């Protein structure tokens, strides 16, 4: 199974004290279950704020595509986070949670979606020229819009992967400028979402590209640097150094333009990834000739983890016996449905529970239905208190 963020997780693994709290809940909830730890969410937000403190006027907006559980979103809203939304359902979830401000970029907004964004006071970052045209032609919509800029992608071994993102517009496209002129639009926001954060030279190029874009677009008030920073945040010393580099560029832009510029960061994985856990129960076991213990669980890797890799962190009860490699398989008829491959565990038994870290982002929000299996219940943990939450799936 291919995991989009495979190289990113694990982030910082939970501290033993956090695992104890999670274990208490995990032993009691009906399986399969997702548990979101609000204290870990708060800690991640505090860390990101502290890492980016040198950037003047920075606003964190949680990428709701990563998790739209209403309690998670309300908690982030209470911490002062806005939202990044990519669909009508995500917009509704962000508004219901009271998240402000709301950023929006998606390749397929329809006309009605754009009008709904405007009604909610959201200025979308248009992903393509067709969207700019559609927005411009609706004369009752504000004349200010944002643009998502097309960026280069990091080199990749997959020959079918495009060298540039399929998202965003190129400032060199004449039809973009024709549409801006025809409809009397002013570009007030720029958005980029890239995978450059692991590469110093690519970060430098991105900042240079933004400088050029600012020269061509005099009305810019806000630059949104997107998400994708989880791997960066996993190495704190480098994160601090990169954010200082960004802060310096922002300072230069402000001095040159003689006015403030708001910087938006919209991480999803980096905030919520390690704040969520999956609890699954073992329903079948088998010992294989090569010494692997194959255990089937009552949850599926295929339906729950299409984007990220879960990591087993707890066995309940604590296992006894010598550790052996385990393949932890999901409950669908998909041959490749594994939650973990060759992980060392004390032999698990039918009825045992396994807790996986890394289930806070792109799990419930990316759930795919199969066999009509029940969706996992969602639970909130805060301090020692826990409660069931409405489903965000």
Ligand X SMILES: Cc1ncc(COP(=O)(O)O)c(C=O)c1O
Positions that interact with ligand X (CB under 6 A): 63, 65-66, 84, 105, 193, 226-230, 266-270, 361
**Residue 12 CA from chain centroid, whole number:** 16
Comparison of 124 and 268: residue with beta carbon closer to ligand X: 268
Comparison of 66 and 274: residue with beta carbon closer to ligand X: 66
Least distance CB 348 / ligand X (angstroms) = 31
**DSSP letters spanning 285-316:** EEE-TTSPEEEEESS-HHHH-SSS--EEEEEE
Calpha distance 310→292 (Å, rounded): 19
Comparison of 165 and 292: residue with beta carbon closer to ligand X: 165
**DSSP letters spanning 217-266:** -TT--EEE--S--HHHHTSHHHHHHHHHHHHHHHHHHHHHHTS--EEEE-
Comparison of 226 and 392: residue with beta carbon closer to ligand X: 226
Calpha distance 118→47 (Å, rounded): 33
Comparison of 193 and 309: residue with beta carbon closer to ligand X: 193
Calpha distance 128→104 (Å, rounded): 13
Comparison of 267 and 330: residue with beta carbon closer to ligand X: 267
In 3D space, the residue among 262, 294, 276, 254 whose CA is nearest the CA of residue 355 turns out to be 276
User: Which residue number has the CB closest to ligand X?
Assistant: 227
Cβ contact 330:337 at 8 Å? yes
Least distance CB 269 / ligand X (angstroms) = 4
Least distance CB 227 / ligand X (angstroms) = 3
Least distance CB 306 / ligand X (angstroms) = 13
Least distance CB 61 / ligand X (angstroms) = 8
DSSP state for residue 321 in the 8-state scheme: S
Cβ contact 60:379 at 8 Å? no
Calpha distance 73→71 (Å, rounded): 5
Comparison of 58 and 282: residue with beta carbon closer to ligand X: 58
Least distance CB 236 / ligand X (angstroms) = 17
Q: From residue 194, how far is each of 5, 102, 148 by CA, in Å?
A: 13, 20, 11
Least distance CB 238 / ligand X (angstroms) = 16
Both tokens of 52, joined, read 């980016």
Comparison of 39 and 195: residue with beta carbon closer to ligand X: 195
Comparison of 158 and 384: residue with beta carbon closer to ligand X: 158
Both tokens of 201, joined, read 């030279």
Least distance CB 332 / ligand X (angstroms) = 25
Strands (E) across the chain are located at: 33-37, 58-63, 82-85, 102-104, 125-126, 144-148, 186-191, 222-224, 262-265, 276-287, 293-297, 311-316, 324-329, 338-345, 353-357, 377-382, 385-389
Strands (E) across 166-216 are located at: 186-191
Cβ contact 298:280 at 8 Å? yes
Least distance CB 35 / ligand X (angstroms) = 20
């Amino acid at each position: 199974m291919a995991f989009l963020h495979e190289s990113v997780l694990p982030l910082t693994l939970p501290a033993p004290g956090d695992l104890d709290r999670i274990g208490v809940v995990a032993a009691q909830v009906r399986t399969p279950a997702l548990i979101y730890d609000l204290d870990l969410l708060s800690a991640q937000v505090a860390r990101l704020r502290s890492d980016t403190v040198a950037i003047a006027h920075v606003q964190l907006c949680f990428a709701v595509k990563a998790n739209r559980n209403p309690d998670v979103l309300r908690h982030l809203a209470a911490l002062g986070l806005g939202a990044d939304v990519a669909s009508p359902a995500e917009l509704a979830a962000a508004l219901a949670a009271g998240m402000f401000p709301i950023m929006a970029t998606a390749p397929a907004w329809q006309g009605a979606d754009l009008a709904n964004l405007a009604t909610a006071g959201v200025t979308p970052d248009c992903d393509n020229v067709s969207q700019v045209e559609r927005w411009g032609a609706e004369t009752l919509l504000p004349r200010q819009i944002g643009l998502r800029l097309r960026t280069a992608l990091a080199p990749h071994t997959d020959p079918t992967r495009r060298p540039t993102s399929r998202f965003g517009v190129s400032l060199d496209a004449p039809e973009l400028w024709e549409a801006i002129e025809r409809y009397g639009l002013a570009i007030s926001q720029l958005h980029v979402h890239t995978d450059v954060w692991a590469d110093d030279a690519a970060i430098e190029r991105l900042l240079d590209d933004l400088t050029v874009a600012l020269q061509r677009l005099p009305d810019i008030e806000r630059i949104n640097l997107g998400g994708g920073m989880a791997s960066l945040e996993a190495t704190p010393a480098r994160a601090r150094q990169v954010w200082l580099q960004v802060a310096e560029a922002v300072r230069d832009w402000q001095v040159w333009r003689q006015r403030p510029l708001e910087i938006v960061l919209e991480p999803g994985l980096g905030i919520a990834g390690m704040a969520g856990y999956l609890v699954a129960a073992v329903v079948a076991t088998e010992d294989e000739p090569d010494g692997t213990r194959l255990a089937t669980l009552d949850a599926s890797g295929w339906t729950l983890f299409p984007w990220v890799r879960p990591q087993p962190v707890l066995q309940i009860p604590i296992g006894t016996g010598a550790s052996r490699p385990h393949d932890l398989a999901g409950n669908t008829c998909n041959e490749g449905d594994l939650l973990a491959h060759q992980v060392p565990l004390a032999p698990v038994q039918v009825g045992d529970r396994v807790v996986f870290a890394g289930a806070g982002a792109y799990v419930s929000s990316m759930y795919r239905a199969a066999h009509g299996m029940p969706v996992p219940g969602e639970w909130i943990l805060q301090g020692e208190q826990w409660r069931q939450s409405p489903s965000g799936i």
